[in-house]
Amino acid sequence: MQGPMAQRIARVFGKSWVVITVSIAVLTLLPADGWALPLFARQTGQNCLACHAGGQFPELTPYGRKFKLTGYTMGERATVPLAVMGVASSAKVASTAGSSDIEADFPHNGRFEFTTASVLCCGKITDNIGTFIQWTWDRFDHLNDQGSWVSKSHADQIDLRYADRFIDKNQDLIVGLSLNNNPGVADVWNTHNSAFTPVPTYVPVSNPSGNAGGPFVDVPAMPIIQSLGQASAGATAYAFWNNTIYGEFGLYKAADKAFSAFGEVPAGEIDSFLRLKGLNPYWRLALNHDWGANSAMVGLHGMRAETYSDAEDMSSPTARFTNYGIDGQYQYILDPHVVTAMFSYTHEKQRYADALWNTSNPEYLGAFANSSNTLDYVRAKLTYVYRAKYGAALAYSSIRGSSDSILYSNPAAVPNSRLWAPEVFWNPVQYVRVGVQYFMWNQYLGAKSNYDGNGRNAKDNNTLFLYVWAAY
Amino acid sequence: MKEICFASVAMLALAGCTNLERSRDLANPDINPEVTALQVCSNCHGVDGNSVSPNFPRLAGQQEAYLVAQLEGFRSHHRSDPAGYEYMWGISRSLTDGQIKGLAEYFSRQTAKANIATTEPQMAAGRKIFEQGIPEKETAPCFACHGANAEGMGAFPRLAGQHEDYLVKQLHVFQETEGRPGTPMKQITHLLSHDDMVNVAGFLQAFPASH
């Protein structure tokens, strides 16, 4: 969806406020039930809140987790397995001070625009096979040589499943296989690898040049396990026994050749480090317990990955990543109240090929100052939803890492950043959501103040994010 | 994109495949109701009908005639309380009469387990309503229709061991809405206070085995 078509859409949605306001008004006046809903709701005929805690995303209810684990095969096969969703949003950074060209440094800052749309092809195919395929169009994907924004459509989340369930009064065993494009996307708790925001915070608000890029809606560095979405293709096998023990193991490779439909391997800069070499193991263990209106999970996750320093050169030196982490979730679901608390911690150890860091190596490439580095990534989120209509959330995200003066070009030479993100939202009807998030930085790239050496402070990056999400 | 299309075509080619013994298809009349009970209903109501979450009613030992009437009510949208339309309208929309009967049989023959106890004052207040009703509020004693052991009777549901939260919500549905027509409960509940409902529901949830 590029060229004239993109321009037409851009013209149509340039007046997004009008479109969105009218849409919400119309949708709010329509009856909430009896409507054809996005795919899984059509397939089961159930309300979104049956599977999504409080009717919001991405947190799943115990029932929603079973729906996903059994391969999206519950219900009736849809005649037309297609749904669409779209997001209009605005992101505004607290300060553009110090910028001599605000439009270049902070493009689209504070403009409310239609930014993202997805087509979803999901649902039951056979009694054992189901899919979740999301194809996304980003209106502002990148700048071309003429300095204009270019839109792009691409694979977003893909999860093709085969599942079976052996259940009687003595035992319940769900087993399955998933072919997907993101380590952790097959997980049903969505704790260690999912967006903090219920909608893609895809906004082209970036940072002044010379610093780590924005938008400032999540930490500027993450472990590899959280970074491979749409750059990898993997097959995992999983089992969930007696609603208690969950295990998953899989291997991921670069999304290239036969798997290029799963995503796109980032192009060739020396510091991309996202093109996987060979097969890379991912694993996950979780212990689940439900009692009364409560559900709790504590889990472990990990990955070993090796990536090329140059994504287009399969002989380039590599970096090896070892990730392991702990995560958990607590849920209380008793209409009209829904509470979900999530926590995840991931530790990463990075080791580099000699040529990437050793100055005495004749093929020295100067990618790192150290032979190895570490990252520690913490995230947590508490969400409350009332009557599946009104909600509030508080998210926290923190990254800490070892100092490396080449890897991190900021004065502190560390990625250390800390973010709080409160949010309030409203679902006037179950397939429309309006929300406000505020991303508050109390540390950015290792400092509270003057993190870039040019006087920019962490709190200057605070970002107000408004969005309207709708699906059909 | 080519690969995705190819995969989609391949999957569609498989679409005719069925696995009747372990299917979660709700639109296939050939699927045995017991398979549906295990593969689908158990997710919320428990494999033996003793649901863990109070969001979902316990079905173990429930009256078969009552279960048939409720499933038919969901399927026809005759029963339209939130629990009904949010969860059950879709699930039941393509069930055959035979499958509905089979599901009702399955859950009615399960053994109801004891549910969570409640406080003594709540038990005493709830027991009084169950046994004597509240004459000044025109509320008949529950046992008159639901049985001395709250085990139910035909179209009158079993209440013993049912989740307190579910019972309270349903009593409010009867009192305040037309979501569950065709029962005498509208008249019986019309003067009940919220506290009355909580007391009797708490007593029924913790219904004593030796009552």
Residue range B156-183, pLDDT digits in tens = 999 999 999 999 999 999 999 999 999 9
Here the tokens at position A289 are 């317990």
At residue B127 the predicted structure's pLDDT band, cuts being 50, 70 and 90, is very high
- For CA atoms A230, A236, A240, A244, give the dihedral sign: negative
Q: In 3-state terms, chain B is what percent helix, strand and coil (to 5)? A: 55, 0, 45
Which residues have C-beta within 8 Å of that of residue A310, sequence separation ≥ 6? A268, A269, A270, A272, A316
Report the alpha-carbon distance of residue A10 to residue A2 in Å, rounded.
11
What pLDDT score was predicted for residue A77?
87
Query: Which of A61-70, A77-86, A357-366, B135-144 bottoms out in mean pLDDT, i.e. has the lowest?
Result: A77-86
- Selection from A408-417, A459-468, B45-54 with the highest mean pLDDT: B45-54
Residue B177 contacts A, CB cutoff 8 Å: no
Pairwise CB contact (< 8 Å): A126 & B18? yes
What pLDDT score was predicted for residue B204?
98
What pLDDT score was predicted for residue A434?
92
Nearest to A129 among B14, B25, B52 (CB): B14
B205 versus A111: which is more confidently predicted? B205
What pLDDT score was predicted for residue A9?
39
Query: Which of A100-109, A169-178, B1-10 bottoms out in mean pLDDT, i.e. has the lowest?
Result: B1-10
Report the alpha-carbon distance of residue B63 to residue B152 in Å, rounded.
6
Query: Which of A18-27, A147-156, B128-137 bottoms out in mean pLDDT, i.e. has the lowest?
Result: A18-27
- For CA atoms A441, A443, A445, A448, give the dihedral sign: positive
Residue B94 contacts A, CB cutoff 8 Å: yes
Q: Would you give the DSSP letter of residue A287?
A: E
At residue A264 the predicted structure's pLDDT band, cuts being 50, 70 and 90, is confident
**B-chain residues within 8 Å CB-CB of A70?**
24, 39
What pLDDT score was predicted for residue A207?
41
For the cut 90, the answer to whether the pLDDT of residue A405 exceeds it is yes
A246 versus A38: which is more confidently predicted? A246
ipTM over 0.85: yes
Question: Which residues 163-202 on chain A approach chain B with CB closer than 8 angstroms?
Answer: 164-169, 172
CA distance B18 to chain A (A): 6
* CA-wise closest residue to A264 among A313, A298, A217, A228: A228
Nearest to B91 among A45, A166, A290 (CB): A45
pTM: 0.90
Burial of B111: CB neighbours in 10 Å, binned 0-12, 13-18, 19+: exposed
In the three-class reduction of DSSP (H, G, I as helix; E, B as strand; rest coil), residue A131 is classed as: strand
At residue A193 the predicted structure's pLDDT band, cuts being 50, 70 and 90, is confident
In the three-class reduction of DSSP (H, G, I as helix; E, B as strand; rest coil), residue A49 is classed as: helix
H/E run at residue A251: strand A245-254
At residue A52 the predicted structure's pLDDT band, cuts being 50, 70 and 90, is confident
CA distance A50 to chain B (A): 6
What pLDDT score was predicted for residue A105?
79
Residue B14 contacts A, CB cutoff 8 Å: yes
* CA-wise closest residue to B182 among B94, B105, B76, B89: B76
For the cut 90, the answer to whether the pLDDT of residue A20 exceeds it is no
Here the tokens at position A273 are 């480090």
What pLDDT score was predicted for residue A311?
87
Residue A243 contacts B, CB cutoff 8 Å: no
Q: Do residues B106 and B48 make contact, with C-beta atoms less than 8 angstroms apart? A: no
pLDDT tens-digit map of B74-117: 999 999 999 889 999 999 999 999 999 999 999 999 999 999 99
Backbone angles phi, psi at A301, to 5 degrees: -145, 155
CA distance A230 to chain B (A): 13
CB pairs under 8 A between A and B: 126
Query: Which of A408-412, B24-28, B145-149, B167-171 bottoms out in mean pLDDT, i.e. has the lowest?
Result: A408-412
- ∠ CA A95-A141-A428, nearest 5°, is 75
For the cut 70, the answer to whether the pLDDT of residue B3 exceeds it is no
What pLDDT score was predicted for residue A54?
86
What pLDDT score was predicted for residue B6?
60
For the cut 80, the answer to whether the pLDDT of residue A10 exceeds it is no
**A-chain residues within 8 Å CB-CB of B71?**
none
Report the alpha-carbon distance of residue A410 to residue A212 in Å, rounded.
8
What pLDDT score was predicted for residue A270?
52
* CA-wise closest residue to A230 among A141, A110, A291, A331: A141
- For A306: left if phi > 0, alpha if psi spans -120 to 50, otherwise beta; the answer is beta
What pLDDT score was predicted for residue A97?
84
A97 versus A399: which is more confidently predicted? A399
In the three-class reduction of DSSP (H, G, I as helix; E, B as strand; rest coil), residue A294 is classed as: strand
| CA distance to A66, A130, A173, A472, per residue, from A167 (Å) | 13, 19, 6, 34
Nearest to A127 among B23, B42, B43 (CB): B23
Pairwise CB contact (< 8 Å): B27 & A33? no
* CA-wise closest residue to A437 among A460, A419, A415: A419
* CA-wise closest residue to A285 among A276, A297, A295: A297
Determine the angle formed by the axes of helices A4-14 and A16-29, rounding to 10 degrees. Answer: 70
At residue A471 the predicted structure's pLDDT band, cuts being 50, 70 and 90, is confident
